[in-house]
């Protein structure tokens, strides 16, 4: 029987995850189906219960449900515990073949991002001054993995400042000795960073790429990397201002494929190749 998976979110139409997991399954000869599942904002738990009752094997979870997925899981990996957000659910089978005894919650966003930056883009996170913009599920998912790479500092800013403060406080308690701090957007102007990561969903909705920039141009030094976690939106306002400031730019396609490969490993126990897919997705 074909093993069923899905990516669950709202919105979800833009997701390339079905294409990616179909390619992975072809590469290793696994028989899976993987679909997009649009779930109304207040129906995450009910939708997952129904999906599992049909014998599904697992799901990816995207915005805005990563914190709810954390609560839905009955078992958590260390990296999910550290991030407080879940983007991969694995439905473990009972001995009698019924699905649903345990739901393993994992988070592969962090490893996806750090692999893309260090291995695919060849940029060092160790010793870097990193600015993380955003304090939603994606920011929680990647912050711990960024600290694991021993940056000089991890500064977090967010439109709703109290959420940046809450994330920085969580990190300080989970990673004692790490240099994680929150800063309000008003205080950013004269602060230079080596790597700036946009983990907001602002670029999903910006109508023409001309929205008010998330960071002042002065934050980008010549050697900076500006990383837009969103993908498929071309030169967003964030990437435009970074490029004009002389920074190298990247969107989240590499992270998307790397986090998916790690999810595929969690579900199927096999490693897949990522470079060919990243290259073909980047070419459009």
Task: Summarize as ranges the residues that interact with ligand NDP (CB under 6 A).
Answer: 63-64, 66, 109, 112, 134-139, 158-160, 163, 199-202, 204, 214, 229-231, 252, 255-256, 259
Residues whose CB is less than 8 angstroms from the CB of residue 145 and which lie 6 or more positions away in sequence, other chains included: 79, 83, 109, 110, 111, 113, 114
Q: In whole angstroms, how close is the CB of 277 to ligand NDP at the nearest point?
A: 13
Active site residues: 66
- DSSP code of residue 127: T
Q: In whole angstroms, how close is the CB of 112 to ligand NDP at the nearest point?
A: 6
Counted residue by residue, the chain has a size of: 284
Of 158 and 178, CB closest to ligand NDP: 158
Q: In whole angstroms, how close is the CB of 153 to ligand NDP at the nearest point?
A: 19
Q: In whole angstroms, how close is the CB of 134 to ligand NDP at the nearest point?
A: 4
Of 1 and 212, CB closest to ligand NDP: 212
- DSSP code of residue 53: H
Beta bridge partners of 91: 103
What DSSP string describes 56-100? --EEEE-TT-HHHHHHH-SEE-HHHHHHT--SEEEEEEPTTS-EE
Q: In whole angstroms, how close is the CB of 200 to ligand NDP at the nearest point?
A: 3
Of 66 and 115, CB closest to ligand NDP: 66
Of 56 and 167, CB closest to ligand NDP: 167
CA proximity to 86, closest of 64, 111, 105, 63: 105
How would you label 113-148 residue by residue, b for 16+ Cβ within 10 Å and e otherwise? bbbbbeebeebebeebbbbbbbbbbbbbbbbbbbbb
CA 49 to chain centroid: 24
Of 55 and 181, CB closest to ligand NDP: 181
Of 119 and 160, CB closest to ligand NDP: 160
CA proximity to 252, closest of 115, 83, 69, 151: 115
CB 24 within 8 A of CB 68: no
Distance CA 273, CA 257 (A): 9
What DSSP string describes 206-235? -SSS-SPPSS-GGGEEEEEEEEESS-SS-S
Q: In whole angstroms, how close is the CB of 69 to ligand NDP at the nearest point?
A: 11
């Amino acid at each position: 029987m074909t093993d069923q998976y899905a990516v669950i979110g709202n919105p979800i139409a833009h997701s390339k995850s079905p294409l990616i997991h179909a390619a992975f399954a072809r590469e290793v000869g696994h028989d899976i189906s993987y679909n997009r599942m649009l779930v109304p904002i207040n129906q995450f738990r009910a939708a997952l219960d129904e999906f599992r009752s049909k014998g599904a094997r697992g799901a990816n979870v995207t915005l805005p449900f990563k914190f709810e997925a954390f609560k839905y899981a009955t078992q958590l990996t260390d990296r999910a515990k550290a991030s407080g957000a879940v983007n991969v659910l694995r439905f473990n089978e009972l001995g009698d073949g019924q699905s649903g005894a345990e739901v393993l919650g994992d988070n592969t966003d962090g490893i996806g991002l750090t692999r893309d930056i260090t291995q695919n883009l060849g940029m060092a996170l160790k010793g870097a001054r990193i600015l993380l913009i955003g304090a939603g599920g994606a920011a929680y998912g990647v912050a711990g993995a960024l600290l694991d790479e021993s940056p000089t500092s991890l500064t977090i800013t967010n439109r709703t400042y109290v959420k940046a403060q809450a994330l920085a406080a969580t990190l300080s308690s989970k990673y004692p000795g790490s240099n994680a701090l929150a800063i309000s957007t008003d205080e950013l102007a004269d602060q230079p960073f080596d790597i700036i990561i946009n983990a907001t969903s602002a670029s999903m909705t910006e109508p023409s790429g001309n929205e008010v920039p998330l960071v002042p141009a002065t934050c980008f030094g010549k050697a900076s990397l500006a990383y837009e976690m969103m993908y498929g939106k071309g030169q967003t306002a964030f990437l435009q201002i970074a490029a004009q400031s002389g920074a190298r730019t990247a969107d989240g396609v590499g992270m998307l494929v790397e986090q998916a490969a790690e999810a595929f490993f969690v579900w199927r126990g096999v490693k897949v190749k990522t470079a060919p897919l990243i290259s073909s997705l980047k070419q459009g």
